[in-house]
Amino acid sequence: MTLLFRGWSILGGAITLLVVPIFLSPVEQGYYYTFASILGLHIFFELGLSQVVVQLVGHEVAHLTVGDRKLEGDRVRIDRVASLVQLLRRWYAVAAILFGILGGLAGAYFFQHRAQLPLAAWLPVWIVLAIATSVNLAYTPALALLEGTGRVGNVARLRLVQSLLGYGGLWLTLVCGGHLWAAATTSVASAITTAYWVRNEGALYQWLKHLKFLPANQIDWRREMLPFQWRIAASWISGYFIFYAFTPLIFSHRGAAEAGRFGMAMTVFNSVSSVGMSWINAKAPTFGMLISRGQRSELNTLFVDVFRRSMIFTAAASLAVIMGTYLLSLTGWAFISRIAAPGVIACLGVVCIINCIVFSVATFMRAHREEPMLPVSVAAGIGTAAIAYWGSMHSILLMSLLYLALNLCMVLPWSVLLFRRYFQRTA
């Protein structure tokens, strides 16, 4: 199922890249990709808690028997998982409401003060996007729980259905002349299918949600989660500036059309990175379980295996994109002007390969319920934000070169140095 999802993600993303320039104007394309960057503000409300959940649950269920409808084994550990689920439901409910209101208003303010389309063309779409993203945020703990219990295949099946419906709706909307409404189809499809799936298929989550646990057994958030979570939160907030700051700043300083070109390029490599990292992410709960059991040799062997697969795919796909766009630029194909210049593509492609290494070693280290990447993330976030702000006003190519230099000369060696300490641990 995971393999099928990877294949469909590649195909669906490729088709979308072809149809978006055909059915959207350059300005509409800018709005289309900037919507996604503004929606990235959900990071400030979610604060990386889903990563904490996957690791905490993985460490607990390593000593339990996981059934389709309930957990069996040590009651103390079951109570701890149940208390975590019920805490998360409250946390994410508040986060979803706050994002829907504050994130929605922030996006509306941004687009209104830099408007290049009539209000009626983008505001209703933005409202629907903000609501759908809030719903998806509210259901995050259910999916994080299942991933933490090793049900990665179940979540991949759901993601596949979401992707099929989302891409299908997007293409149909574009063909039927729906213009920017196509941007909302993926989020809406995800919200509807997740809500249906959790209600009808998430039996384990529903059982834990209603399980009565002893107060003495519940997880101590301040002692067990906060020390790890605040570091993850700071890293995720830094991640917003690393991955989402470029397009809105270009939209603001150079207009929607230029933002659309760069946004399309970033989307291509984000998709490559997402598929490439699926090998690592699928094994993240297993990393936590092996660490909890003290099986270091098995842990390192598994990581090397999935990391190799992830790197091969990411490097091959990134190089294919770089060469493909360069060759198309030589042919004079009309729509090649709707994506960033070959030099910018090359820089982003190399960064994508670097990110595969960084994301992989970060996942390995975080499986230890620690966050050594905090200083790296903060430094990278500050550096990227400065590069994006300056570059968006002066030169997109120079901005991309500086972004590459930052990742190659600072983020990569720093991350690998930290990783070596964890990989060489004996206990």
Residues 283-314 have pLDDT tens digits of 888 888 888 888 888 999 999 999 999 999 99
Write down the pLDDT at residue 174. Answer: 92
Given a cut of 90, is residue 413 above it in pLDDT?
yes
- pLDDT of the residue at 238: 85
User: Do residues 67 and 137 both lie within one domain?
Assistant: yes
Q: What is the pLDDT of residue 172?
A: 94
Same domain, 133 and 252: no
Structure confidence at residue 375 (pLDDT) = 92
pLDDT of residue 427 exceeding 60: no
What pLDDT, on the 0 to 100 scale, is given for residue 6?
Answer: 66
pLDDT at 43: 83
End residue of a domain, out of 219, 238, 273: 219
Last residue of a domain, one of 178, 195, 219: 219
Indicate if 184 and 269 belong to the same structural domain. no
The distance from CA 204 to its chain's CA centroid, rounded to whole angstroms, is 24
- What percent of the chain stands above pLDDT 90? 38
Q: With cut-offs at 50, 70 and 90, classify the pLDDT of residue 359.
A: very high
130 and 259 assigned to the same domain: no
Residue 352: pLDDT above 90?
yes
CA distances from 35 to 22, 32, 230, 243 (A): 19, 6, 27, 14
Among residues 174, 193, 219, the one where a domain terminates is 219
Residue 415 scores a pLDDT above 90 = yes
Structural contact between residues 235 and 371, judged by C-beta atoms closer than 8 angstroms: yes
Q: 317 falls in which pLDDT band (50, 70, 90)?
A: very high
CA distances from 123 to 249, 258, 357 (A): 20, 21, 39
Q: Are 224 and 204 members of one domain?
A: no
The reported pLDDT for the residue numbered 152 is: 67
Whether 345 shows a pLDDT value over 80: the answer reads yes
pLDDT at 246 over 70: yes
Rounded Cα gap, residues 2 and 276, in angstroms: 12
Mean pLDDT, to the nearest integer, of 55-74? 76
Neighbours of 134 (CB within 10 A): 23
What residues contact residue 308 under an 8 Å CB cut-off, 6+ apart?
A: none
Mean pLDDT across the chain, nearest whole number?
A: 86
Q: Provide the pLDDT confidence category of residue 160 given band limits of 50, 70 and 90.
A: confident
Q: Is 47 helix (H, G, I), strand (E, B) or coil?
A: coil
CB 127 within 8 A of CB 119: no
Label residue 144 by pLDDT band (50, 70, 90): confident
Residue 140 pLDDT > 70: yes
Instruction: List phi, psi (to 5°) of 244.
Output: -115, -10
Element (H, E) at 71: strand 71-73
Indicate the SS3 state at residue 72: strand
When computed from its CA atoms, the radius of gyration of the chain, rounded to whole angstroms, is 21
How does DSSP classify residue 149?
T
| Residue 221 reports pLDDT greater than 80 | no
Residue 141 has what pLDDT? Answer: 81
Q: Are residues 293 and 320 in the same domain?
A: yes
Q: Give the single-character DSSP code of 73.
A: E
Q: State residue 1's pLDDT score.
A: 58
User: How far is the C-alpha of 48 from the C-alpha of 412, rounded, in Å?
Assistant: 22
> How far apart are alpha carbons 51 and 77 in whole angstroms?
19
Distance between CA atoms of residues 82 and 73, nearest Å: 13
Residue 333, number of CB atoms within 10 A of its CB: 12
Same domain, 38 and 99: yes
Q: Examine the pLDDT at 225 and tell me if it is beyond 60.
A: yes
- Report the distance separating Cα 49 and Cα 42, nearest Å: 12
Q: Does 248 lie in the same domain as 161?
A: no
Residues 258 and 123 both lie in one domain: no
Nearby residues of 128 by Cβ (< 8 Å), 6 or more positions away = 184, 187, 188
Return the structure tokens found at 320: 């294919």
Domain region containing 15: 1-219
Structure-token match 């933490």, residue found? 148
Question: Which SS3 state, helix, strand or coil, does residue 66 take?
Answer: strand
User: Could you tell me if 322 and 205 lie in one domain?
Assistant: no
> Do 164 and 246 lie in a common domain?
no
3-state secondary structure of 25: coil
Q: What is the mean pLDDT of residues 330-358?
A: 88
> Which one is predicted more confidently, 111 or 216?
111
Instruction: Return the pLDDT at 426.
Output: 63
156 vs 29: which has the higher pLDDT: 29
**Complete DSSP assignment for 286-303:** HHHHHHHHT-HHHHHHHH
Identify whether the C-beta of residue 15 lies closer than 8 Å to the C-beta of residue 107: no
156 beta partners? none
* CA atoms in the 13 A half-sphere facing the CB of 415: 27
Among 16-30, 41-55, 76-90, the range scoring the smallest mean pLDDT is 41-55
**Domain total in the chain:** 2
Model confidence pLDDT, tens digit, residues 162-187:
888 988 999 999 999 999 999 999 89
Residues 79 and 208 in one domain: yes
Tell me the per-residue pLDDT of 86-128, one tens digit each, with 9 for 90 and over. Answer: 888 888 889 999 999 998 999 999 998 877 888 988 999 999 9
CA dihedral sign of residues 207, 212, 217, 221? positive
Q: Which residues of 25-50 are buried (b: 16+ CB within 10 A; e: fewer)?
A: ebbbbbbbbbbbbbbbbbbbbbbbbb
